[in-house]
Structure 1
Amino acid sequence: MTLLYRHAIVLAAGSGSRLGRGPKALLPWNDEVLVTRAARVAAHAGCSVTVAVGPEARTARRWLRARCASASTVYVRDAASGMSASLRAAVRHLASAPARPHVVVVLLVDQPGVNEPVVSRLLAAHRPGRATRAAWHGVAGTPVVFDTADLIAAAALAQGDSGARSWMSRHPHLVDRVECADIGSGADVDIPDDLAAWPQLG
């Protein structure tokens, strides 16, 4: 059986304005920060990793060098325009690589409950020509696994904070949901009240 070349994109360029504590990528998590945690989860699941970084990019890169040196980064100059900018920047970086991966999993930096078992389950369930989307208690969410060509198409359609949702809305018959609530959590860290759910966040 041919082994698939697996890649992960971590979208970590947001400013965290609604949280009021600076970029969510740099929120402390135990002895690291959220961006290194997400990158390491993907790497431990067998993926090469690209991280889209924005505000305080130098600090994020310094953390990544220390905790996940194999991850590459791409700076998102227009990160303020929304998640779509981060997705497009990461996909452009990916498309210019000498060897394109077969599949790509897209992760958000602000979901600390997404762990290696979640990413591994989604990758194992993925079928060529389809998208494989995490479901949390039956509700579709992220991460999502794409064939590379489909992710490139999704990035071209993305606007504002929609990310890849526009592509999935246009191709619902190609999207498989995989329940993951038994092994992780899809809750995100978006506003100050969300911090209470994660005592690991400093």
Structure 2
Amino acid sequence: TTTGAVGSADAAVDWLELRVNEHKGSLFHGRGPDGMVLVAAAEHAPGLLEQFADLFDAAVGASQPVAYGGFGDAHAQAVTALRRGHAGEVTTFDQVTARGVLGELDTASARALAEAQLAPLREHDDANGTHLLTTVRTWLEHDARIDAAADALGIHRHTVRSRVAHAQALLGVDLSSFPARAELWAALIATGG
């Protein structure tokens, strides 16, 4: 199952009708709220989808291959892939899942929330010449281990401990809890910082 956002729907339908005649019984299409919906046999899908994306400069989302009974789930996968794709490209659900859940933080709304969450650290660093944000990121990259972060940063472990405590106070969170650390890590991923 694939969903494509198409600029010229009539030309796309004409092209698809020709493909339906070539692949009798293994290609179906229709229109859905997210664009064109194509159901193609797994052996034909990759080539057809690439052609479709190229010819119509369409963003195309492709699900994992499923039996017809799995259409609902496959359509949801295709729409998920479509929303992460770009014009002229086929984006597969496998590509989306390979990025993981944290890969979904690559949105404007996630970045805005993350920037707001990290603002106290950035503002403090800018105003005081400190390195709280870098320290916290390095500490998290080293599984919240003070000694490992200190070694990576080339500073004393007490300095790392002090900076993490200061960051914790500025953010108003308890960084000894995994949920708080995970939230902070997600914010760092979303901002690229």
- Structure exhibiting the larger radius of gyration computed from Cα positions: 2
Larger RCO of the pair (alpha carbons < 8 Å, separation 6+)? 1
> Which bin holds the TM-score, normalised by the shorter protein?
under 0.3
TM-score calculated relative to the size of structure 2? 0.27
Normalized per residue, which structure has more helix?
Answer: 2
